[in-house]
Amino acid sequence: MAHARKTTHSRKTSARKSTRRAAPKRWSQRVTKESDALDLKQGVFKLTSAKEIAASLKRSAEHSARRKTGAYRSALSMLTFYINRAGKTLPQTQRTRLERAKVELKRAFGRE
């Protein structure tokens, strides 16, 4: 009959966890604000028209001095980042509007 091994000390799993650095709160908000991709207009993703969102992203991408890639790629990546970070909390109407903004962005850059 096998006996369970007794330990003389309790295991501390919290010791391992405490060495891990906690992610700062609102990191995605900081990325949106300070990203090298674009200098975004305040509240661009809250606009009511997909065309307005696409036009604002295009304008920001073309005038940004901080972006490291092409204007189209920067604008599309920032829009995709916002949609992905919002996840399931993004209302369906707003998600649909932002997905339409992707199509409008392609059209604005002549990539249709």
pLDDT in tens, 38-85: 677 888 888 999 999 999 999 988 888 777 888 899 899 989 988 998
Please indicate, yes or no, whether the overall pTM of this predicted structure exceeds 0.85.
Answer: no
Stretch 17-32: mean pLDDT, rounded? Answer: 65
Weakest-pLDDT range from 24-38, 41-55, 93-107: 24-38
**Do residues 53 and 47 lie in contact, with contact meaning Cβ atoms separated by under 8 Å?**
yes
**Do residues 109 and 71 lie in contact, with contact meaning Cβ atoms separated by under 8 Å?**
yes
